[in-house]
Amino acid sequence: GNSVTQMEGPVTLSEEAFLTINCTYTATGYPSLFWYVQYPGEGLQLLLKATKADDKGSNKGFEATYRKETTSFHLEKGSVQVSDSAVYFCALGTNDYKLSFGAGTTVTVRA
Amino acid sequence: GAGVSQSPRYKVTKRGQDVALRCDPISGHVSLYWYRQALGQGPEFLTYFNYEAQQDKSGLPNDRFSAERPEGSISTLTIQRTEQRDSAMYRCASSLSAGQGNTGELFFGEGSRLTVL
C-alpha cells in the first residue's frame, strides 16, 4: 500500500538557519507528492507539490524535488524565519481523491 | 464562508455517548473529505463526498461511524457509542472540483478535537 515516512521531530532552529525535513515514500503507480503546513491555530494548507519525477515544487522560499530513484521528496529552506514555525506534513496521492500523510514534523524557529 | 469551518472545535464526551461533528465547506466547493488524525500521526482518510453523494467510505473504522452531506454543502460526521480509542482530531477538507485529492488542492478546516473519557 501507499505510505509516507518523514523525519521525526521536533526540530528547533535559530533564525536564518538551513532547514531540511526528509520524506520518503512507498507507492504503486506514479504518485503526486505534497508538503502541507499547519501554522498554530490554523488548518492544514498546501505548501508545495510535484506531480511527476524530477519536478521541483517551490513556495515561500521552500523547495522540494520529486526523486523517483530514491523515492524521496525532501523539504528545504535556506534561511528560516520565526514565522516558519509550524508542523509540516509530507503526503502523496495516487488516485483522484485520497491522500496518504506522514506523521508530521514540528519545527520551531527561535529568534 | 471564507474558509472551511468545523464545529465544535473541542468536544469532551463520556464513553457510550453519540457525537456529531459538523463541517461547513468553502462555498461552491464540490468535494468534501473527512480525515482522522491520532496524536503523533498524520491524517488518515475516512470518507469523501461529491455534492451529496458519498463516493467512498472505505476509511470509516466500523459501523459506529457514519457521515452525510444531504444538500451537498454542510456535512456531519456521527460517531455512535463512542469509545476511548475514538479520541482524535477530526479534520474536514473541501476542494473546488470533484476528486482533487490527487492534485493536493484541498482546503482544510481547523479540526474538531474529540476526547472520549
Which strand ranges, in their side-by-side order, compose the sheet holding B75-79?
A: B5-7, B19-24, B75-79, B65-68
Q: pLDDT of chain A along its 111 residues, tens only?
A: 889 999 888 999 999 999 999 999 999 888 999 999 999 888 899 999 999 999 999 999 999 999 999 999 999 999 999 999 999 999 998 776 789 999 999 999 999
pLDDT higher than threshold 80 for residue B99:
no
Q: Which of residues 60-89 of B touch A (CB under 8 A)?
A: none
pLDDT higher than threshold 60 for residue B7:
yes
* Gyration radius from chain B CA atoms: 13
pLDDT the model gives residue B97: 78
B-chain CB neighbours of A39 within 8 Å are: none
pLDDT higher than threshold 70 for residue B105:
yes
Chain A: closest CA distance from residue B106 (Å): 7
Residue-wise pLDDT for B29-74, tens only, equals 999 999 999 988 999 999 999 999 999 999 999 999 999 999 999 9
pLDDT higher than threshold 70 for residue B111:
yes
Find the residue in B nearest to A90 (Cα).
B42
pLDDT the model gives residue B96: 86
Q: What is the mean pLDDT of chain B?
A: 93
Interface-testing mutation among B23, B41, B102, B103, with chain A (most A C-beta atoms within 10 A): B102
Nearest-5° Cα angle at B103, A6 to B40: 30
Three-state secondary structure readout of B20-52: EEEEECCCCCCEEEEEEECCCCCCEEEEEEECC
B-chain CB neighbours of A32 within 8 Å are: 102-104
pLDDT the model gives residue B100: 62
Interchain contact, A44 vs B91, CB within 8 Å: yes
| Cβ burial, residue A106 (10 Å; 0-12/13-18/19+) | middle
pLDDT the model gives residue B102: 60
B-chain CB neighbours of A45 within 8 Å are: 107-108
**Pick from B31, B41, B111: CB nearest A43:** B111
Chain A: closest CA distance from residue B101 (Å): 4
Task: Provide the 3-class DSSP secondary structure of residue B75.
Answer: strand
Q: How many residues does chain B have?
A: 117
B112 shares contact with chain A (CB less than 8 Å): no
Interchain contact, A32 vs B103, CB within 8 Å: yes
Which of B24, B31, B6, B46 has its CA nearest to residue B105?
A: B31
pLDDT the model gives residue A96: 65
Q: Which of residues 10-49 of A touch B (CB under 8 A)?
A: 32, 34, 36, 41-46, 49
Residue-wise pLDDT for B79-90, tens only, equals 999 999 999 999
Q: How confident is the model at residue B2 (pLDDT cuts 50, 70, 90)?
A: confident
**A and B: number of Cβ contacts within 8 A:** 81
